[in-house]
Structure 1
């Protein structure tokens, strides 16, 4: 995680069919690379500008530092809300719940993200029901403490490459959760 070059070797991204994610409308039929840049002067907390590599707006993430659950909203480039991310209260390890932006937190979350202790970095487990075919999907993500770099005022920039057929909105939400977990003090 971070803006430094990674030392990890990556395999080629495999197109997913049926689409993989909670919102198939955000799955493209081609590989998409996104730049997530944390807003350094944001008073709201954990806000990101998400652009394509040429700097064109793609999404934005608006954090609310004054919310008990640290609510964050992923928005389309035109400002329309897509997803809300909220911390689940009263858990030993951090849990994030992802909802459609127009749904109540009383409804079933689209995605549950659970953090785990790791000596070398961040580890989160992700569980969701795939919207395209209804199957339960569970996987884990790991961020390396050693492959990160904080350049200025804890501001982070990440590059995310999303495979064809994978929900880019969900992947952005996962990256923001990884960032938040990595930066917990």
Structure 2
């Protein structure tokens, strides 16, 4: 499994803050099966974006080793342009684009070589921040599936659950691994349960980041 094996860490309890480790899901959840293959929770270090949805390129790294896992490439032209989420070698996994005419902020993930939608991520009015990702679970049972993010948009502190309330990921400013490590205020940690698509969860984080930019 290559990079996913390296990202898996040494023990199920080795990631996260004081929260309990995230439990494996009953079946894989996601749009890219390869990125659901990790058998332990994984943690990614994400740099907070300070500018708009377009025009910002950065690398997503393993929070333990610093090894590159994903790259995010944006267009510097306008909000009408999309971000490309690639693997560490630069191969495009999907494109992420904001729909400008939607009542609530709506982001669409499309395949690398067409405009065919793979998933949508929508914001909604609620107490705090709420984003809902909807997709066909091609990594699992093939059914329409929802993942829901709730949390604090400005602090990048959130939990992502299934529609039934089962936690599958956490976003936090802090991280513990062989002793507590503190990161600067421009980074945060995405911790992902075993069996959940790391690429899809990264897309949800990028949309959270964009919403925070809108609120600045």
TM-score bracket for the superposition, by shorter chain length: 0.7 to 0.9
Q: Which of 16, 21, 26 is residue 12 of structure 1 equivalent to?
A: 21
- 8 A Cα contact 1:87 1:97, kept in partner: yes
- 8 A Cα contact 2:44 2:60, kept in partner: yes
Q: RMSD of aligned C-alpha atoms?
A: 2.8
| 1:92 counterpart = 2:99 | no
The Cα offsets for residues 42-94 of structure 1, whole Å up to 9 and x where unpaired, read as 9x534332001221111111111314523011111111111110111311111
Counting matched residue pairs gives 170
Question: Residues of 2 paired with 1:137 and 1:148: CA distance?
Answer: 24
Q: Which of 159, 172, 189 is residue 159 of structure 1 equivalent to?
A: 189
* Aligned twin of 1:55: 66
- TM-score of the pair, normalised by structure 1: 0.79
SS in 1 for 2:100: coil
For structure 1, list consecutive stretches of 5 or more residues without a partner in the other structure: 1-7, 150-154
* Aligned twin of 1:111: 119
For structure 2, list consecutive stretches of 5 or more residues without a partner in the other structure: 1-16, 158-184
Question: Residues of 1 paired with 2:44 and 2:141: CA distance?
Answer: 26
Question: Residues of 1 paired with 2:146 and 2:193: CA distance?
Answer: 17
The Cα offsets for residues 113-161 of structure 1, whole Å up to 9 and x where unpaired, read as 11123453x2211111101211111232123146359xxxxx8312011
Compared with structure 1, are the counterparts of its residues 52 and 45 closer, same or farther at alpha carbon in structure 2 (3 Å cutoff)? same
- TM-score of the pair, normalised by structure 2: 0.69
- 8 A Cα contact 2:96 2:108, kept in partner: yes
Question: Residues of 2 paired with 1:143 and 1:65: CA distance?
Answer: 29
* Aligned twin of 1:152: none
Compared with structure 1, are the counterparts of its residues 162 and 81 closer, same or farther at alpha carbon in structure 2 (3 Å cutoff)? same
More displaced 10-residue stretch of structure 1: 32-41 or 58-67: 32-41
Greater relative CO, 1 or 2 (CA 8 Å, sep 6+): 1
